[in-house]
Structure 1
């Protein structure tokens, strides 16, 4: 073993660091108010322009050469591809995305790297102090995400980036990033059902909110969409004289033998959109001649390198648990994907099943292949050269989702996508998120709440059990006595334990069960799919990387 204990560090009485002080101050801006939508007139959207004046950004923002991207699925990947392409073309880039997984500074990237702590603190306090001084009862302090968007504009302006790529936080029309009046180009990634309590219950309503980022005569691109969504996008574009084009998925042959830096079939669609956005930005800013349509037959070397070197945590990411030394290395592997909509569950299931299939194929052929792999699972394959290829592969699901989402729509899609490719979970673990939505944390692992409400996790488990046992005509609630033998030894850590699922009161306890079982059973390799929530993915990363 490389570490002696699974325990999390106890609360210390050390002096709060300047960085933690800033995070605590930022946490004070988190409210329980509803997000901006048409029902509350955008939560006084126009007040954002008052904040911009307070921060002396009213002249700086119009000068920025901005790429603005909305969407339900893939907007973060699209923005990250776009940033990597333009950075490899030699431009100084600024990238604003959400949410962060481990550290708030992930949201602000300069030249592909998260902003350093010193710069973050300087810009943070510059903005916070001015807003604190100038706001009042009529114009109160901005809420959490609005402040972060304003901070991004300040950072990118002060750092004099050549291009700022902005990912919409939620929706589009009333999003804090939508204070941009004249971006260079806009993009809308794949649309689907998510945040319906805010954006609407139909694809048409959702598309209308996303199309709120369209600006008069500013070119825009989208990907192939369902007809209901596409018709709304086209109507909104027509009303604003927006030249809207459809960017088709990237043809893998255009990568000249390389692979996309982000794994998954759906990433070719996101890459295609990123190519269109990057190419149009280059053309509209005078760096290349011609138009997007002139460029689709081949890709410049810089585009290929940018696409191949793109990286993004928590999306189709494979991490062997570094907790173990060489004896058990690769016996516990986390497959992380922040999918949280029905459509993304399909993509996640396909990716996970393909990754399992690739791992099996590589292990079976390990003796015939050179030990130089570029794929994320290469270290697992090399470990198999030592005789571990006969270990039994066991797939585990580690899941949570927000209470506004419908597990009856999410879990069946995931189960079916995996089963279609021959992958079946032996067990599912349902856990609450560690990170608090009311507090911004640093790299440290938040302490588990001993009084945490697990009613939602128990509901998720009930849905799972009914899905798994449905074909047998047995409801999950009738199977409480059917506890697996391996689960009995750990029953004090579980709230409700079935043969095919368990609810744990905290994420560290679920990971402890996995680690303990790896140590106790040398013939098994656990492949753990972590999905349903980017917050859960971030929590796992915090623990695994600690």
Structure 2
């Protein structure tokens, strides 16, 4: 707590923020509506000055875009440090996480003079357990293809916090992020009191995205709920154009409730009077609650069916996996409703046409989202010359972290590796100067999950679904995440001494794995390739190794082991499923893309 307090003091002192003197006109906040804030460089000094409005945007960025890269990087790190000071050390089940003083969000909007501008945003609001992020991405991509200036807010980020804020499909630039961040930060710091303290981490991010979307004058603001719905920071929006709820399941039960009915009740908290609501086919218990909530508000709850792949005219969805047809169907229904409600449907839909408009097809096929059903051949081998093939080591990344999403992830992975095998066999493609067949496929699971989740609920659906598809793992690797949960953009450097690493949770997960495979002899592959002989696991990089599993001390050591294995066994194709945690997926992505 002392460190967090010290950080807040540092963040409130402009002279230390950028490591250079900061000249400010008084009073700095609030700014008159007719003025803009400019950030200008003058030698080593950064000045904040008032000037009359000369563009639609509040923040003029000409000084920052021409600044020294090192100075900008330092300023960005300072911003992340300040943002980190808002992260609480409370457990997820803490009572303060269950809607504690949600009304503060309305106070924050008034402090930032965003209450009226936010009410004018044309918002699409999406909650759910599984697929809400994908639904939002499909929705944004379709509307962007229709020619609209889009804003998209999703969570969590995998590598950089700016991933949460997209303008026209691109992460917000560092320059814009910094300018909007410091405006919000300083305004809230100036006005902070005992009754209206600085907002917590996610609430600040929600306020920041509102500022970005208002100043960037987006045509549509697509907001993914962070957690739950009723008390989520994004639910401060009182009159969205349309809202949707993706597939529901068991997750965050320590906050949302232990039954599907309770969870559905929290998600339905985003429903508003007079606002169309859409969902997908749900379990009966969940659907009953959603329909009851809609009825109380006097609105109809529309059920969107999965997209008929025949409507794609031979194109593929931009997001892979069978479950994405459900998310795409919901996105299409939401977009249709938004276009109709805002009067923008003219010229897009032909009279009585059953086919999807070309703009919809382009949007669905070009949608992208990191860490969800993402296939990445290891870039390292692209730089190693013609004797190495990128196909020698391929990462299959999916941030599934609930029992239901584990099933979807297993189906996607099984289909992807089997399809790849068939393609290689049928085409006669040479991989690493040797014809690849089923004898050369090595499948590795890299897994971790948060301690609030039960691996006994996550691993069996993954293992059994893969086994049902005829796919098994040669080895499972359990490893702690590298990203730090209490500092944004921070990654823990593994201790030089492996004995210093706390691996108690990973050892627990490994015991669950070993117990499962003892009871099900078909879930691991012992006969196709003896991976233990081909890829030795050194004692210095793992804490405990069995024939079918190992606990590694760090993600870099896992990547190093996999690459050495691929280099020493060039006839192998190593297929690595990374799942169980979006934080784990982000850490792996960051390391392999270095």
TM-score normalized by the length of structure 1:
0.89
1:123 to 176, 180, 202: 180
In structure 2, list runs of 5 or more residues that go unmatched.
1-69, 522-530
Q: What TM-score do you get using the length of structure 2 for normalisation?
A: 0.82
Give the Cα–Cα distance (whole angstroms) in 2 for the partners of residues 418 and 500 of structure 1: 16
Residues 1:429 and 2:457 are matched in the alignment:
no
| SS class of match (2:502) | coil
Q: How many residues align?
A: 508
Which position in structure 1 is the counterpart of 2:425? Answer: 364
Is the contact between residue 372 and residue 399 of structure 2 (CA under 8 Å) also seen in structure 1?
yes
Question: Aligned ranges for residues 24-423 of structure 1 at < 5 Å?
Answer: 24-34=81-91, 42-288=99-345, 297-324=354-381, 325=384, 326-329=386-389, 330-367=391-428, 384=431, 387-390=434-437, 392-423=440-471
C-alpha RMSD of the superposition: 2.3
Provide runs of 4+ in structure 1 moved above 3 Å. 34-41, 289-292, 383-388, 449-452, 483-489
Distance in 2, matches of 1:471 and 1:40, equals: 40
Structure 2 equivalent of residue 461 of structure 1: 510
Contact 1:94 1:164 in 2 (8 A): yes
Change (3 A) 1:39 1:535: closer
> Any idea what the Cα deviations from partners look like across 1:357-398, whole Å, max 9, x if unmatched?
11011111225xxxxxxxxxxxxx6x6395442460000000
Q: Secondary structure at the match of 2:158?
A: coil
C-alpha distance after superposition, 1:138-173 (max 9, x if no partner): 211001100000000000000000000000000000
Residues 1:509 and 2:557 aligned together: yes
Change (3 A) 1:46 1:34: farther
1:353–1:507 distance in 2 versus 1, CA, 3 Å: same
Structure 2 counterpart of 1:447: 493
Structure 1 residue 289 displacement after superposition:
5.8
Q: Give, in angstroms, the shift of residue 448 of structure 1.
A: 2.1
> Is the 8 Å Cα contact of residues 217 and 243 (structure 1) preserved in structure 2?
no
| Partner Cα distance (2:366, 2:559) in 1 | 31
Q: Secondary structure of the equivalent of 2:306?
A: coil
Higher RCO by CA contacts (8 Å cutoff, separation 6 or greater): 1
Report how far residue 408 of structure 1 moved: 0.6
Q: Structure 1 residues 36, 67: closer, same or farther in 2, change over 3 A?
A: farther
Partner-residue secondary structure (3-state), 2:466: helix
- SS of 1:448's partner is coil
Contact 1:211 1:233 in 2 (8 A): yes
Deviations 1:67-89 (A, max 9, x none): 00000000000000000000000
In 2 relative to 1, CA 489–351 (structure 1 residues): closer, same or farther, beyond 3 Å?
A: closer
State how far apart, in whole Å, the 2-side matches of 1:231 and 1:542 are: 42
User: Residue 32 of structure 1: SS of its match in structure 2?
Assistant: coil
